[in-house]
Structure 1
Amino acid sequence: MTTLSPFAAPSPHIRRSQQVALVLLVVTGVINYLDRATLAVANEFIRADLGLSLGQMGVLLSAFSWSYALCQLPVGALVDKIGPRWLLGIGLVVWSLAQAAGGLAATFGWFVVARIILGIGEAPQFPAAARVVSNWFPVRARGTPTGIYNSASPLGVALAPLLLSPLIAATSWHWAFYVTGGMGLVAALIWVSLYRDPDHTKMTAAERAYLEAHDGADAAPKTSFASWRALFRHRATWGMMLGFFGSVYLNWVYLTWLPGYLRTERHMDLAQSGIAASIPFFCGFAGALIAGWASDRVTRHAADPVAARRNAVVVSMLGMVAFTIPAALVESNVAAVACISIVIFLANASSACAWSLATVVAPRSRIASLGAIQNFGGFLGGALAPILTGYIAQSFSFVPALLTGAAIAFCGAMSYHFLVGRPIPEHD
């Protein structure tokens, strides 16, 4: 039987399926983050309309992250059981309806419930994307597509102020939620109509051999609940959870509060803040694409792949800390936006490197499990960041709020550095 090695070019049929899958993942990922960022862009208008304090807005901005974080652990198993086509399709419908419901919110409680359901609906997006890449790309060819679908997150945040600020100015903040919710429903229909798993696609034996190539390695053993729980016996697991907490915390300070910060603390108008808030996240888009590519090449020449990928995370996070301090203290708006742009570039580079770190620290049977545990820790930081930032800004100003984020990110970098040192063995 003719086989294709994992280094061979895929057939035109597989290449077409890969391209369709990646385009759909990027589109749904951009909508996913547009929906998350709508509240941040409309921050001031919603606060004025509903009479919310900065502290209450912090709670509202964090409501999404709590449900999203808690759903990360079970959703991976559901993707494996149900498949990415239907679980992501259902998730798109749920989160799009929740997004549209946010536009109908007339009370603080209604809005909190809508954001919680939004977090539940959006939870399958990235686990499903990881499964799609593992379905359609052989082991040695998964780095680039992983970087591509991860770049959708900063791209969505970058587009949010550019697309939604003019819409809000022309209509009201309610329409920003209605329009983005409608986009998600259309995307759900397109996703379910066009995406198919390899198991439901007619292919030749050689094409299936290409997808199933594992470079001669034996199949990974099955994962049990006991082996998943055993990950918590290793300090590397805790180092990755605590480290990603710090990285995502500082990233989400900017993701949730940047437009409001620019208008409240930096006194920019809606048009200025819309452009200024988008620039850093276009830099983050570049950071996500570049980091995975650079990390792979550094690791190829490193004696210790764990140390190489861990150090990439630590250096990126220390850079985030270093540039957040002047971002908080400089008087020039241009200098502040430039510093924030570097921070967001490094934040997305750190995130991409952290996901690749999981692939070399975890045993082969539990790569997804360790990645999900790390992401769970990260989004606990993402949930805390809007609340703490809102209350600090309300009590003092945004300056100590940003410096607090820098301090938490520094502690996260130290957690990676001192706790993540060796790979977790397969049999422990």
Structure 2
Amino acid sequence: MSDIQEQPVPRRVRRAQTISLALLMVSGIVNYLDRGTLSIASPAIRGSLGLSLVQMGVLLSAFSWSYALCQLPVGGLVDRIGPRRLLGAGLIIWSIAQTAGGLVGTFGAFIAARIVLGIGEAPQFPSAARVVANWFPLRARGTPTGIFNAASPLGTALAPLCLSVVIASFGWRTAFIATGALGLVVAVVWLAVYRDPQALRLTDDERRYLEAGDTPVVRRRLSVAEWRQLFSHGETWGMLLGFFGSVYLNWVYLTWLPGYLTLERHMSLVRTGFAASVPFLCGFLGALMAGWFSDVITKRSRSPVASRRNAVVITMLGMVAFTIPVPLVQSNVVALACISVVIFLANAASACSWALATAVAPSDRVASLGAIQNFGGFLGGALAPIVTGYIAQVSSFVPALLTAAGVAFAGAIAYLALVRKPIPEQDGTEASTALPA
């Protein structure tokens, strides 16, 4: 604990940390601008393609199914080949898919574009977790994790502010094409600038700083047996199930908030754009503050796992408490205030969950465990828009939001009951079945 506090950050490491986080922030913002374009444009798309609420829910969820399923292999691939190449390839794929979304003419083609978007975006957060594990020592990873997580609410907040005007002025197709082109620019910058530490010749001082409080990572081929062994630990299942509940509730707002404000609270498109941005700006602050606070309590705690887990549980219970009034109050201002608190806490919970992955995982499987947790989360994210759209169509948004609160509560209990200690570095498995190159 004192090693990190007393040892200054080597100059080259500090520079790499700054560049890495800046690039992760930019790519994360573009990532969520691309995801959010469909949500912002949903009223225009429904009118253009003649879609029902249930069909819109299916379209909103198509991204999440492929994104969730790709989390399982992509975490191991990030640990195997490094975040530079995998995130660079992902940026190119998802930007092409986003551009294609502005060119489609049918419901089926739109679903296909969203599925490819999910495949391309899958490496973003496992790569970010690996970058943080590579460039920051164990007890100083909360703040950078909060920073890269803050890109998601910031991108979501910018989406309605920027894209509502574009959609109203030039049409929804232009919004997809413009954000896709932006992603291709970011891909070029990422590949040109970012370097994994393995590509550099670290000095002894730089290596000692990065390995303070952690087990040095042995750079070798990750085996399928070692990856599969993660599922034999209750901690893995607690994180998978817990993140399911957290992301489910968050994605109800992420995908349906503009539609909810338009359909249930009768706001105009432009007014909805500004109103929908406020909660996600709060989420941006939540991610930043949670990462910093997580580091503070972890440095004072005997157990990085318990301290980061408790932060996740507390924030998730707050999400539940403030979601319950949202569909029940008459005032739009009060409802938006409650939603803002929920999204603040949701992004705080997400930042703490990714920081928890770096504390629980063996040092050579950080991206793998983070991706498994994210897989569980985006199963929830895939179900949320479909279930919410169905319940809203047959009943209203009231039971839809209360159902989401119940799912998040169950997730908090899963974290509390199952995530208790770090997964051992060696599980007794042999590195015999290597992942393919």
Q: Same fold (TM over 0.5)?
A: yes
Deviation for aligned residue 1:124: 1.2
Q: Which residue matches 1:24?
A: 23
Match runs of 1:1-40 below 5 Å: 7-40=6-39
Cα distance in structure 1, aligned partners of 2:219 and 2:91: 32
3-state DSSP of counterpart to 1:326: coil
Closer, same or farther in 2 for the Cα pair 1:209/1:408, shift >3 Å?
closer
Match runs of 1:316-395 below 5 Å: 316-395=315-394
Deviation for aligned residue 1:287: 0.8
**1:102-160 deviation per Cα after TM superposition (whole angstroms, max 9, x unaligned):** 01111110000000000011111122222333333344443322221111011100100
Q: Which residue matches 1:402?
A: 401
Deviation for aligned residue 1:190: 1.6
Paired positions, count? 424
8 Å contact from structure 1 (residues 24, 191) kept in 2: yes
Closer, same or farther in 2 for the Cα pair 1:156/1:366, shift >3 Å?
same
Q: TM-score, normalised by structure 1?
A: 0.92
8 Å contact from structure 2 (residues 243, 377) kept in 1: yes
Q: Which residue matches 1:72?
A: 71
Match runs of 1:7-406 below 5 Å: 7-201=6-200, 205-206=203-204, 208-210=206-208, 212-215=210-213, 217=215, 219=217, 224-406=223-405
Cα distance in structure 1, aligned partners of 2:16 and 2:6: 18
Q: TM-score, normalised by structure 2?
A: 0.90
Higher mean displacement: 332-341 or 231-240: 231-240
8 Å contact from structure 2 (residues 315, 346) kept in 1: yes
3-state DSSP of counterpart to 2:65: helix
Cα distance in structure 2, aligned partners of 1:138 and 1:309: 16
8 Å contact from structure 1 (residues 247, 350) kept in 2: yes
8 Å contact from structure 1 (residues 228, 366) kept in 2: yes
Letter of the 1:198 counterpart:
P
Deviation for aligned residue 1:217: 4.5
Deviation for aligned residue 1:310: 2.3
Closer, same or farther in 2 for the Cα pair 1:104/1:134, shift >3 Å?
same
8 Å contact from structure 2 (residues 32, 155) kept in 1: yes
**1:221-279 deviation per Cα after TM superposition (whole angstroms, max 9, x unaligned):** 97543333233233332222111111100000000110111111110111211111011
**1:269-303 deviation per Cα after TM superposition (whole angstroms, max 9, x unaligned):** 11211111011111111111111221222233345
3-state DSSP of counterpart to 2:330: coil
8 Å contact from structure 1 (residues 6, 140) kept in 2: no
Report % sequence identity: 65
Higher mean displacement: 148-157 or 127-136: 127-136
Cα distance in structure 2, aligned partners of 1:382 and 1:427: 32
**1:187-209 deviation per Cα after TM superposition (whole angstroms, max 9, x unaligned):** 111222222333444x5635643
Letter of the 1:393 counterpart:
A
Deviation for aligned residue 1:427: 4.8
RMSD of equivalent CA atoms: 2.3
8 Å contact from structure 1 (residues 10, 207) kept in 2: no
Cα distance in structure 2, aligned partners of 1:298 and 1:18: 22
Structure 2 unaligned regions, length at least 5: 428-437
8 Å contact from structure 2 (residues 49, 106) kept in 1: yes
Q: Which residue matches 2:433?
A: none
3-state DSSP of counterpart to 2:313: helix
Cα distance in structure 2, aligned partners of 1:346 and 1:5: 28
